[in-house]
Amino acid sequence: MAFGGFDQAGGNAPMSEINTTPLVDVMLVLLIIFMITAPLMTHAVKIDLPQASSTPAEDKPETISLSVDAEGLMFWNDAPLDKSALEQRLAEAAALDPQPELHLRADRETRYQTLAEVLSAARRNGVQRIGFVTQPEPAASGTLPARP
């Protein structure tokens, strides 16, 4: 009754008109939803982002190899060095820009006192980058090195 007309003459005749009321109801609901949500999608939070500036990476500074053997003899880049000249060489290296890295290699049998003197001399003269160089123990084929 709600969808048919008041004309009862047709009886069981098929309805030839499309009922657009549900379609219009759905379209109006969607229109209201989009009208409410559309301004929310364009809403943005205002923040002050930092500006990035890319600068080329600095060249790696040169490295100085200072070796100390078991007898306490020192070698500056594999050249023999007298203990009295160590302070002067360290001061010259610390004055360079960029400051070179000091790689300290010591024999296994070197006295700790000798290494402590070298480290304190480097610190006194302003050397900032000091590294210790070691060699890994050779492993037997297929086995891990033994732990002490």
Alpha-carbon dihedral 112, 76, 133, 107, rounded to 10 degrees: -40
Half-sphere exposure of residue 120, counting CA atoms within 13 Å on the CB side?
Answer: 6
User: Domain residues of the chain, as ranges?
Assistant: 63-133
Q: Cβ(122)–Cβ(87) under 8 Å? A: no
pLDDT profile of the chain (148 residues), mean per 10? 56 79 94 86 72 72 89 92 92 90 91 92 92 78 55
- Provide the Cα torsion 49, 50, 54, 55; round to 10°: 180
pTM of the model: 0.53
Fold of 63-133: Nucleotidyltransferase; domain 5 (3.30.420)
